[in-house]
Structure 1
Amino acid sequence: MISLSSTTKWSRPIRWLHLGLFLTITAQLFLSLVMAGPDDKHQTFIQHATLITHEYVGLLAAAIILIHWVYLAAAERVTFEHLFPWTGRGIGEVFGELGGLLRLRLPDESEQGGLAGFIHGLGLLLATAMGFTGTVMYFMLQAGRMESAGYHTAAFIHGTLANLMWAYWIGHGLIAILHQLLGHDTLRGMFRLGR
């Protein structure tokens, strides 16, 4: 996911965090297809069980996201610049790589691409917003505040972001497959945890 050199001390923890995010977010997306909302009085056992699982996997995902941000804050400064290329140079790299991608030309594997970092940064922000709103909903439910305006606002934002996360998840997978088809060893590299 985030392309850090395998020689940096941050490589292995970041890869484990990415695997954790991939597994928890994937689980959350698919659980959401089965579960019923907490206000559904006619939910089946399976719908209720997937709702409870969704809540606890969501809390785990939120914890992983928080740990991810702590690692990013402690890692080298280039990591943030890679994920959030808001400088003129960074934006230029993103647009340059977008042009190359439209011609089916990918950056060299050894390069830390601006576009890849930008897309990962957006995904991390999206996951953070989902984790935050989901955690707010969980604790409001526990406090019996499901009928409050705050809960309904958080639920609306969470549901809207879930649609964006589906688009991100599908798009990210398709681009990884495209990388693989064009000769980059992307899929194996994403899940190589030993180095």
Structure 2
Amino acid sequence: RNCTWNYVNGNETSKNLSVNTNVNSYSFAVSAENEEGSSGLIWSPCLFILKKPENPVEFRLNAKDSTLIVEWDHYNCYIEKAYVTNYVVSYCVSFNKTKCEGKIQEKHISKKEKKYVIDDLSKNKYLVWVKSSTSIGDGPVMTQEIQVDGKTFASSVVLSIIGSLVIILIILVVVFSYVKRSKKSVDKMPFEYPVS
């Protein structure tokens, strides 16, 4: 490779560079140097354009019982080029597909994540939107509405309850049968009253 070197002080964390052609034609690397040697070149996998706004985040929703799963594609810096700092997932109870009824809940998610799970939702329709935050502000939002069924007993819980009731019923039948037999045995036993 034909490399050009620029030296910076050890306490600096950035460097402005001027290039003559399209910046996308370049690769950039950093190495730490001291009297004992070099760390070796660490090449940047991505080239960000700091003032580029982000595209709307396309996401998918999946509702199961009282849980809502929000998923989006992992950020691809080779395509997007905007410097994403984090994602923001917001949701609320839907009023008429465009407005919220009540408080808006908001959660900031690491840019390394591509999923957020919302638990303990009541039965209702919800509006959900996801946006990315970049170095120049928030990106545009896409909004979706989804029906959540709310809390329901899982089939395993229902089966456990039914199983417990069956066991209790069997125990009661056994106890009742034992008491009934014991009473019959006592009734058949001869009994003499003492003579005074």
TM-score by length of structure 2 reads: 0.19
More helix by share: 1
Q: Which has the higher contact order (CA 8 A, sep 6+)?
A: 1
TM-score by length of structure 1 reads: 0.19
More strand by share: 2
